[in-house]
């Protein structure tokens, strides 16, 4: 008998439920499974693979909201509803009084690899990766660091789609939040994964998520970074107070950040951290460049646009002899973009163009070059069930030292 969880429509429904997608999204996916209606077979599947399992450990308000939407949908169409679903809804109605609204929830983010990804070393035989994450639903009330931001989803898809860029590299994340990016870096076998955040509450939640995903972690002082090189670690690093020597101790090859470009008050500190992380290798990089026998430039620079308007920042376009299918310069040995100095990959939603231009201005003053690579390195859609995630609004940039 065919396993229904191996069939795309049913797999999408379960994945959406575990990721706590909206009730409307779940009902929409349930209709796809039932050929346009939520049949008894679909309801039985929801009960067996979603509600019955999650009722013991799930988020009660979320279950209640979904069941209410599901029952109303069928009743409005004069369709039958399973008794088990009615009974579960009634139980939640009577037990909700003791629920605390600020409680953290556990989401399960499932990356689903399409057929075209089978060649990727990051793609498991099952073509499915699932990571549990404790997070908050209270993003707008001060718990931003413990929420899953859209750009972290995009950056995670990017890592899993281009694992050769990060494999065997020392990676460092600025503002790690719930830790999804770091977990993906560990999956693609980055040689070192160092995750940082300036908020102690967020850092505690981050450590828990690393433990949930069987990643050994401990908080060390920067001077001990030479120990346990293959261990994923997290560190308290407030941008405004981090010293130059503290930043230099990390010595990453790749820096990552997701949705950190939104608060102008933090930009001077963020840019200072980025500049210090990159400039620590500037002299070594310059020496290699000066002794190179090649007369072909590594890259050229062209103007690009944000949100359809010419905002005057520049994008990096490789001019090397080889390029991948997207026209991006590659190292023929590994298929990864050529780099001989630290580089940052920053995914962000540009919510305010003036705010973003202020970041660009500070980056230029710090001798950093910001390059838009959104159209040249597009990740696979590994979260096809996540209707709440609008990847079209996200831009991907590299930041490097001049």
- Annotate the chain with three-state secondary structure: CCCHHHCHHHHHHHHHHHCCCCHHHHHHHHHHHCCCCCCHHHHHHHHHHHHHHHCCCCCHHHHHHHHHHHHHHHHHCCCCCCHHHHHHHHHHHHHHHHCCCCCCEEEEEEEECCHHHCCCCCCCCCCEEEEEEEECCCHHHCCHHHCCCHHHHHHHHHHHHCHHHHCCCEEEECCCCCCHHHHHHHHCCCCEEEEEECCHHHHHHHHHHHHHCCCCCCCCCHHHCCCCCCCCEEEECCCCCCCHHHHHCCCCCEEEEECCCCCHHHHHHHHHHHHHHHHCCHHHHHHHHHCCCCCCCCEEEEECCECCECCCCEEEEECCCCECCCCCECCCCCCCCCCCCCEEEEEEECCCHHHHHHHHHHHHHCCEEEEECCCCCCCCCCCCCCCCCCHHHEEEEEEEEC
399 CB burial (10 A radius; 0-12, 13-18, 19+): buried
Global confidence as pTM: 0.83
What's the rounded Cα separation, in Å, for the pair 50 and 17? Answer: 7
Average pLDDT of each block of 10 consecutive residues along the chain (402 residues)? 69 94 96 94 93 70 92 93 93 73 82 92 94 81 78 98 96 95 96 94 93 72 46 90 92 95 95 91 44 34 37 36 35 45 95 96 96 95 94 95 88
pLDDT at position 138: 66
pLDDT at position 305: 38
135 CB burial (10 A radius; 0-12, 13-18, 19+): buried
pLDDT at position 231: 67
pLDDT at position 54: 63
pLDDT at position 333: 30
Residue with tokens 């400039």: 279
pLDDT at position 341: 83
Homologous superfamily of domain range 106-401: Vaccinia Virus protein VP39 (3.40.50.150)
Q: Would you say 394 and 345 are in contact if contact means Cβ atoms under 8 Å apart?
A: no
Q: What count of residues does the chain have?
A: 402
pLDDT at position 225: 43
At residue 329's C-alpha, the angle toward residues 325 and 330, to 5°, is 85
pLDDT at position 99: 55
- In which residue ranges of the chain is CATH 3.40.50.150 found? 106-401
pLDDT at position 165: 96
């Amino acid at each position: 008998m065919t396993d229904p969880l191996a069939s795309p429509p049913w797999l999408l429904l379960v994945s959406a439920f575990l990721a706590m997608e909206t009730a409307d999204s779940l009902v929409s996916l349930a209709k796809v499974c039932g050929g346009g209606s939520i049949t008894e077979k679909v309801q039985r599947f929801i009960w067996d693979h979603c509600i019955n399992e999650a009722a013991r450990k799930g988020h009660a308000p979320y279950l209640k909201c979904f069941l209410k939407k599901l029952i109303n949908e069928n009743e409005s169409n004069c369709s039958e509803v399973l008794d088990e679903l009615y009974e579960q809804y009634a139980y939640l109605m009577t037990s909700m009084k003791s629920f605390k609204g600020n409680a953290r929830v556990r989401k399960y983010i499932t990356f689903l690899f399409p057929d075209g990804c089978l060649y990727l070393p990051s793609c498991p035989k099952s073509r499915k990766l699932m990571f549990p994450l404790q997070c908050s639903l209270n993003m707008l009330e001060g718990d931003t660091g413990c929420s899953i931001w859209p750009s972290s989803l995009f950056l995670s898809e990017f890592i899993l789609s281009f694992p050769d860029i990060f494999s065997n590299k020392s990676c460092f994340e600025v503002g790690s939040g719930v830790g999804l990016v770091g977990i993906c870096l560990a999956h693609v076998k980055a040689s070192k994964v160092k995750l940082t955040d300036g908020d102690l509450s967020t850092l505690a939640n981050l450590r828990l998520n690393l433990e949930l995903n069987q990643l050994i972690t401990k908080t060390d002082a920067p001077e001990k970074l030479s120990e346990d090189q293959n261990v994923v670690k997290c560190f308290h690093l407030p941008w405004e107070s981090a010293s130059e020597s503290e930043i230099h101790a990390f010595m990453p090859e790749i820096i990552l950040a997701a949705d950190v470009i939104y608060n102008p008050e933090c930009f001077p500190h963020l840019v200072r951290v980025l500049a210090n992380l990159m400039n620590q290798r500037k002299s070594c990089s310059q020496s290699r460049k000066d002794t190179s026998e090649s007369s072909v430039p590594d890259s050229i620079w062209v103007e690009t646009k944000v949100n359809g308007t010419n905002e005057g920042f520049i994008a990096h376009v490789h001019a090397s002899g080889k390029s991948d299918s997207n026209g991006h310069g590659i190292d023929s040995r590994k298929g990864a973009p050529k780099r001989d100095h630290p580089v940052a990959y920053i995914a962000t939603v540009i919510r305010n163009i003036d705010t973003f231009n202020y970041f660009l201005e500070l980056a230029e003053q710090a001798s950093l070059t910001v390059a838009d690579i959104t159209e040249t390195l597009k990740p696979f859609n590994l979260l096809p069930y996540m209707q709440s995630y609008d990847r079209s609004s996200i831009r991907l940039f590299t930041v490097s030292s001049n």
